[in-house]
């Protein structure tokens, strides 16, 4: 939890216990409810949005406290951070879009340093050799992964 008083997350029905085992205090089945249902306005310090569904940023703005952070993990399907005219940013709420530049490794090195210093770990669902990349993609797209699918590249 890295100092968080409470962690709230969402997952598909067959991944609820997995997310709870990762440390979430409340896990919402996103097929039945929205992760923000029942969350009072101005009650959350940080929202990590790794999906980016339309409307999520605006709902997050309502729930976030002044001084809070909306962090969009680029690669989702939605518009990203809250911007006019689709979304009205909340005064005093910070926003950050984590997008890594594929032309170098500096961004990834910086993220790795933060993860290492905080003792974060990554759960790897499965690993594939480079020549099995199609199988890796099929696994990732299956919706059944619990963790990251990796491709090993040996130089």
* Residue range 8-98 in CATH 3.30.1330.30: no
DSSP state of 140: H
C-beta pairs of 48-52 under 8 Å, 24+ apart in sequence: 48/73, 49/73, 49/76, 50/75, 50/76, 51/76, 51/77, 51/78, 52/76, 52/77, 52/78, 52/79, 52/80
Per-residue tens of pLDDT for the chain, all 155 residues: 456 688 899 998 999 999 999 889 999 999 999 899 989 999 999 998 877 778 888 999 999 999 999 988 765 556 678 888 888 899 999 988 876 556 667 766 777 787 788 777 778 999 999 999 999 999 988 888 888 899 999 87
Helix, strand or coil for residue 113? helix
The Cα 59–Cα 128 span in angstroms is 38
Domain range summary for the chain, segments of one domain joined by + = 8-98, 124-154
Helix, strand or coil for residue 48? strand
């Amino acid at each position: 939890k890295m100092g968080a008083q409470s962690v709230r997350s969402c997952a598909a029905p067959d991944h609820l216990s997995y997310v709870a085992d990762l440390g979430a205090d409340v896990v919402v089945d996103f097929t039945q409810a929205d992760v923000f249902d029942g969350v009072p306005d101005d009650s959350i310090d940080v929202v990590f949005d790794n999906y980016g569904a339309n409307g999520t940023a605006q709902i997050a703005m309502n729930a976030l406290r002044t001084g809070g952070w909306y962090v969009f993990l680029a690669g989702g399907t939605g518009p990203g951070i809250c911007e006019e005219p689709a979304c009205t940013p909340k005064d005093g709420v910070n926003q950050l879009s984590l997008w890594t530049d594929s032309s170098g490794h500096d961004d990834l090195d910086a993220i790795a340093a933060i993860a290492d210093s905080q003792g974060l770990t990554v759960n790897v669902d499965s690993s594939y050799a480079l020549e099995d990349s199609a199988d890796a993609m099929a696994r990732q797209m299956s919706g059944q992964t619990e963790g990251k699918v990796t491709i090993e590249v040996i130089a």
